[in-house]
Amino acid sequence: MAPVERSPTLLNHGSEDEMECRGYKTNSYKAFLCLSVVFLCGGGPVGVLLAMLVFRWRPDWKLRATKSRCPLYRADAVLLKDIYGQCWTETVDIIYVPVDECTLHVPDWLASYISASPDFHLDPKTQTVAAKQYGSCGQMPEGGDCSSYKEEDGDEDDEETSLTSANDKKRLCVRFFDHQHVRYIWNSNISCFTKLRGLDDTTPCSYFYQLGGLTREEQHRKCALYGENSIYIEVKSYSRLLFEEVLNPFYVFQIFSVILWSLNDYYIYASCIVVISVISISVELYEIRKQAETLRDMVALEAEVSVWRGDSGKTVCASVYEDIPGQELVPGDVITIPPYGTMMACDAVLITGNCIVNESMLTGESVPVTKTPLPNPPPTEGQDPCVYISEEHKRHTLFCGTQVIQTRYYGGEKVKAVVIRTGFVTAKGELVRSILFPKPMGFKFYQDAMRFLAVLAGLAVIGFSYSVYMMISFKAPVKEIILRALDMITVIVPPALPAAMTVGSVYAQRRLMKQGIFCISPPRINVSGKTKLVCFDKTGTLTEDGLDLWGVVPADMSVVKNAADLPRGALLAAMASCHSLTLIEGEMTGDPLDLKMFEATDWLLEEPGPDNTRFDILAPTVVKPVTADTFIMGASSQTPYEIGILRQFPFSSSLQRMSVITRTLGNRNMDVYLKGAPEMVASLCIKETVPPDFHTTLMRYTLQGFRVIAFAWKMLDTSIKFHHLQKIQRDQVETDLTFLGLMVMQNALKPETTPTIQQLREANIRTVMVTGDNMLTAVSVARNCRMVLSNDTVILVTANPPEEGQPAHITWTYSEHPTEDSVVQGQGQQPGKWDSGADMSEPLVEYDMSYQNIQIEEPEGTYHFAVSGKSFAVIRNHFPDLIPKMCVRGTVFARMSPNQKAQLVESLQDLGYCVAMCGDGANDCGALKTAHAGISLSEAEASVASPFTSKIPNIQCVPTVIREGRAALVTSFGSFKYMALYSMVQFVSIITLYSIDSNLGDIQYLYIDLAITTSVALFMGWQEAYPKLVPQRPLGSLMAPVNLFSVVGQVVLMIAVQVGTFVYLKQQPWFVPLKPDPKSDNILCYETTVVFSVTSYLYIVLAAAFSKGRPYRRPLYTNYVFMMSLMILLGFSTLLLLHPFTPLAKFIELKVDMPFHFRLVLLAIVSAYCIIVFVIEDFVVTSQVLRKLFRLRKKLPKNRYKLLEKELAENPDWPPVGETTYAVGEKYQDSTHS
């Protein structure tokens, strides 16, 4: 018997999808015992129904109650638990995959999953299978169940994946389960379930070029395992939605309450609740179905795809193509891309031709990008083969859901791509999964709400017990005892509580929509109210989208303001050809920087046409000058000066450059032009061609916020012909270049940026810049927008990895910036020879060219870290202990890749920051999804990955979201506190009346619960956000001492009022106590009249007190509908107290013969109560004295970032500016520069 695995197995280890997995198998005895216990102890069929209901809410309980733990390889069900504590159960099924007959050849795509299976042997060289002579599974008839055979054998080495035989056809038996649209299959290599992979990461690049297309048989085999290539969004019928919604615990409790009220003869109130619930559930079902239909229509894609059919290495028929539905695609299929584009139905790697793709669905970037074939470098001895990596090779990958606009191909060759992922594991599928299965938020408010509900449930047990005791003492019938006791539960835990908790975020969502901000996750609105730090992208977010060309700085001459004035040569040719622009329907489109650059040259761009054969068999994009004087060889030859772009290596954020291979018409050789980050370009150039004062000149521009691009060039050897171009690797051509010069672009701040940053600063909300741009440019922009103040110090943190025997090390240096006294005057250092191109009589923008080192012994005031993406990676790997300090004091993070942006957000969250991220969607999707409140400025469909999407194209939306979040959070707190106090008020009322065998009447309940509580809770959320952000954030925990003080104080005061008025009533000389009549409800009495009249005021006063205005919401009186409802309710309650006319009193069941002076005393008591309540809520609870008293018991702050801030403030010797920090093993030490 195999030992049971006590510790769970981890799936997706180290990823955000990590889960614990435990195996269970059917145990008939345990299942029968569970059913018997439920049937006998639960009252027969009723107990079974209740058990089914509970098991529906908690399927893990059902699994544990009916099945037994077992090793995973024997499990027929698994229990999954993610890192957030959520549990799921999934059934393990079996797929039969055919293998080749005779040799039993196992396909490559399946071999890795079954190579170590104990029931057969896999030859690693021939990939053939020989069944072992031992083991429990041999040949089986068609449809035989391998798992049942294993159970009978009982051997410890039960097989995981088996060979079966049916009518002499061999097939593999593969065990799997599906979870959240992802398939996990048994991998016997590691004895664990693993995600079913396509041809994605770790596949050698050369493998894609070896594929000759799948045969129909091979495709059908793969389809059996991978399933259909579709992103199917189920739109459930209304009947099914109704059934599932009614079984929700909230509605089950409401159904229980309505039944109970009906049995208590509260028909009117029960009927009203039913009507309200029907309306509510109808609207909810309509919204759920509408959202499902919208999502289904958004992802729906039905298209035919042309597939290249081969026969797995036999006679390859290159001309055999077949059109099949996109749903039939499987990894390994070789597809062709139509010349005029298509919508991609899968993720595929491009192997021939170029594609121009609109990826707005994924990235939010509406600018088309060019995709080129996957590089296939020849194998190098001693080095591992180049493997495909999704992130690294995304410029060669066509993603599902993106629109291929046009294709570029050579001669008669088709544009081909290899399918690597299908269905929900594609990029689009992952995006849809993130919408269908969002990560839960560990927000304290919701956690505390559950704890508070548990407290109310405890009170319900006490009330239940007290009711039973009192009813027995009054010798009430058993039926009445049960009904009264159960009714106490519905009083203490109000059915409307969950709805009241969400009312604030629902109204805030509508207000945001009116302001052009859309939210797809309302709970995130409450979370955004706790925002402590905001990360901003730079380009397109803080600065304008468009760039203006300030000038060009050639390596051998002075600054040229107009690029069209450049002499004909390599630099002008580089600006005209080194880009990814294309013509779509006659309009030039592409990256805004490329557009500005090309427009400045005053050249023309022509796309290839059917008669364009001037460049041999190639059909390139052609660029040429506009003027008629465009002949390279003089008037005699009349050879046009045209440059054909033959090969493009697209821009990569990780490589920080792009390049093209071109040929000038009439030339025998080809040229390489490269542009990119100046530091990167200079490192690829021949050292002698880089001007000696390159770094000085570069710093001169970047310090003032210019965006600087460098150019380089080289001439290829004439031996390189056209047919070599598609095989040549970029690292072969992007080396030994000649430096050409710099292009200086102006990127102005948006006018709304600086005021918004100042607004956030005044609200004590940290701002951080996370950009892919140059470090000094980013620092300059941070200073200009006042993210870094003029008297603040910026420390550059430069980390280098281990090299040449030297350990990883960090250097700490002060940043440089223009001196304040050199503004506009043109004073300062004289530039070097290359510098002299600038006219020193005119400042570039605001400052002259001078700059100086800031010599400070110790940083005065605030200091900020500026870290590059390269340094961030080194610190993460070699100095992980410093990451928290980098996050606490880091303000500028430059040259950050998309993954590093997400990593930074996660690191900030680990320190306790509530992080918002604002970006334009281009490279920020990961960070937007990771942040607590991601705000996308893109209107593209990719914004569905971000909780918030703003039509406002600037960062003004950030304070708006935070203000509305704070208002929604305060409203949710107020609503929750009100519903809790409403329950406590009614609880005390019922306990008081039960003591005399009385109760409130049906109409009285209706007035309190419907007229007062429902209307008040509904209109309370209409209070709008306060227009100004204040430094103090709202509380995020219901269990915070201040909130507990408020709730407990109000409960004590409310009990005092109810008990006091009840005692005061009994002391009146005219008072006649109730004599309970067992045959009557005993409602019409003095006690019930007083309790009802007084508590009516309590509900109204508490609603007003918990609707505080400033500093997070507008004043109470601005909520006109709420104020009107309060005034009407107060007026009607006063009428009932002071002078209820006889028909009304009879209808509500009130005593009318109480003296008027007694009624006035009750009104005075209620008025005094009102004053005390507002004093407590508006002065005591919000006072700094009370907060300081509670802080006395709080020794250390809970958030790590506060501890670090305190530690850094108390350590004047850190950071060690002017020193180098070396990594020593896992430790590090400081060493002074020599």
Q: Which pLDDT score, from 0 to 100, does residue 823 have?
A: 32
Residues 1072-1091 have pLDDT tens digits of 998 888 777 788 899 999 99
Per-residue pLDDT band for 1228 (boundaries 50, 70, 90) equals low
Mean pLDDT of 1120-1135: 94
Q: Which pLDDT score, from 0 to 100, does residue 759 have?
A: 95
Least confident of 231-245, 378-392, 879-893, 971-985: 378-392
Instruction: Provide CB contacts within 8 A for 768, sequence distance 6+.
Output: 533, 534, 535, 536, 787, 890, 891, 892, 893, 908
Q: Which pLDDT score, from 0 to 100, does residue 1172 have?
A: 95
CA distance 423 to 325: 13
Residue 1050 CB coordination number (10 Å): 26
CB of 712 closer than 8 Å to CB of 789: no
Residues 630-651 have pLDDT tens digits of 555 444 456 678 899 888 888 8
CB of 915 closer than 8 Å to CB of 905: yes
Most distant pair of Cα atoms in the chain: their distance = 128
Q: Which two tokens stand for residue 686?
A: 């021949």
Position 715, amino acid = M
Q: Which pLDDT score, from 0 to 100, does residue 156 have?
A: 37
Residues 42-95 have pLDDT tens digits of 667 777 788 888 888 888 898 999 999 999 989 999 999 988 888 999 999 988
Per-residue pLDDT band for 381 (boundaries 50, 70, 90) equals low
pLDDT surpasses 60 at 858:
no
Q: Which pLDDT score, from 0 to 100, does residue 1225 have?
A: 59
CA distance 966 to 486: 38
Q: Which pLDDT score, from 0 to 100, does residue 333 have?
A: 92
Per-residue pLDDT band for 552 (boundaries 50, 70, 90) equals very high
CB of 797 closer than 8 Å to CB of 866: yes
Residue-wise DSSP of 402-461: -EEEEEE--TTPPPEEEEEE-GGGSHHHHHHHHHHSPPPP--HHHHHHHHHHHHHHHHHH
Q: Which pLDDT score, from 0 to 100, does residue 469 have?
A: 85
Least confident of 143-152, 711-720, 773-782: 143-152
Residues 1008-1055 have pLDDT tens digits of 988 888 888 788 888 899 999 999 888 877 778 888 888 899 999 999
Mean pLDDT of 346-355: 90
Q: 1232 has which bridge partners?
A: 1219
- Omega prior to 567 cis, within 30 of 0: no
Q: Which pLDDT score, from 0 to 100, does residue 105 have?
A: 44
Q: Which pLDDT score, from 0 to 100, does residue 1076 have?
A: 84
| Strand-pair category, 933-936 with 890-894 | unpaired
Per-residue pLDDT band for 1194 (boundaries 50, 70, 90) equals low
Q: Which pLDDT score, from 0 to 100, does residue 959 have?
A: 96
When comparing pLDDT for 131 and 816, which is higher? 816
Q: What are the phi and psi torsion angles at 968 (to 5°)?
A: -65, -40
CB of 26 closer than 8 Å to CB of 64: no
CA distance 1214 to 1216: 5
Mean pLDDT of 370-384: 77
When comparing pLDDT for 831 and 998, which is higher? 998
CB crowding 213-232: b at 16 or more within 10 Å, else e: bbeeebbebbbbbbbebbbe
Give the DSSP letter of residue 493. Answer: S
Q: Which pLDDT score, from 0 to 100, does residue 3 have?
A: 54
Q: Which pLDDT score, from 0 to 100, does residue 613 have?
A: 42
> What Rg value do the Cα atoms of the chain yield, rounded?
37
CB of 195 closer than 8 Å to CB of 12: yes
Mean pLDDT of 986-1003: 88
Residue 1183 CB coordination number (10 Å): 12
Residue 112 CB coordination number (10 Å): 15
Residue 842 CB coordination number (10 Å): 10
Q: Of the spans 150-164, 306-320, 542-556, which averages the highest pLDDT? A: 542-556
Cα distances (angstroms) measured from residue 756 to each of 538, 748, 1114 = 14, 16, 21
Residue-wise DSSP of 330-386: -TT-EEE--TT-EE-SSEEEE-SSEEEEE-HHHHS--S-EEE-PPP-PPP-TTSPPP
Angle at 225 between CA 222 and CA 231, to 5 degrees: 95
| Strand-pair category, 933-936 with 948-950 | parallel
pLDDT surpasses 80 at 375:
yes
Q: Which pLDDT score, from 0 to 100, does residue 1131 have?
A: 95
Q: Which two tokens stand for residue 728?
A: 């040549």
Residue-wise DSSP of 228-286: -S--------HHHHHHHHHTSHHHHHHHHHHHHHHHTT-HHHHHHHHHHHHHHHHHHHH
Mean pLDDT of 727-750: 88
Collapse the DSSP code of 967 into the 3-class scheme (helix H, G, I; strand E, B; otherwise coil) and give the result.
helix
pLDDT surpasses 90 at 441:
no
Residues 905-940 have pLDDT tens digits of 989 998 999 999 998 765 677 788 889 999 988 765
Q: Which pLDDT score, from 0 to 100, does residue 852 have?
A: 37
Per-residue pLDDT band for 392 (boundaries 50, 70, 90) equals confident
Instruction: Provide CB contacts within 8 A for 565, sequence distance 6+.
Output: none
Position 716, amino acid = L
Residues 518-537 have pLDDT tens digits of 887 788 898 899 999 999 98
Q: Which two tokens stand for residue 998?
A: 């009385």
Per-residue pLDDT band for 1118 (boundaries 50, 70, 90) equals very high
Q: Which pLDDT score, from 0 to 100, does residue 637 have?
A: 53
Is 1072 exposed, middle or buried, given 0-12, 13-18 or 19+ CB atoms closer than 10 A? exposed
CA distance 529 to 961: 8
Instruction: Provide CB contacts within 8 A for 579, sequence distance 6+.
Output: 590, 591, 594, 597, 598, 660
Is 896 exposed, middle or buried, given 0-12, 13-18 or 19+ CB atoms closer than 10 A? buried
pLDDT surpasses 90 at 348:
yes
Residues 145-187 have pLDDT tens digits of 333 333 333 333 343 444 443 344 566 788 899 999 999 998 8
Q: Which pLDDT score, from 0 to 100, does residue 452 have?
A: 76
Q: Which pLDDT score, from 0 to 100, does residue 824 have?
A: 31
Give the number of residues written for the chain. Answer: 1234
Cα distances (angstroms) measured from residue 389 to each of 204, 394, 397, 419 = 9, 8, 10, 14
CA distance 349 to 388: 9
Closest CA to 1216 of 788, 790, 795, 887: 795
Q: Respond yes or no: is residue 997 known to be catalytic.
A: no
Instruction: Provide CB contacts within 8 A for 34, sequence distance 6+.
Output: 65, 66
Task: Write down the catalytic residue from 537, 773, 835, 924.
Answer: 537
**Please, what is the angle between helix 1041-1066 and helix 1184-1192, to 10°?**
110
Mean pLDDT of 600-615: 68
pLDDT surpasses 90 at 673:
yes
pLDDT above 70 covers a percentage of the chain that reads 82
CB of 151 closer than 8 Å to CB of 67: no
Q: Which pLDDT score, from 0 to 100, does residue 147 have?
A: 34
Per-residue pLDDT band for 844 (boundaries 50, 70, 90) equals very low
Mean pLDDT of 293-321: 72
CB of 560 closer than 8 Å to CB of 554: yes
Residues 452-482 have pLDDT tens digits of 777 877 888 888 888 888 888 888 888 888 8
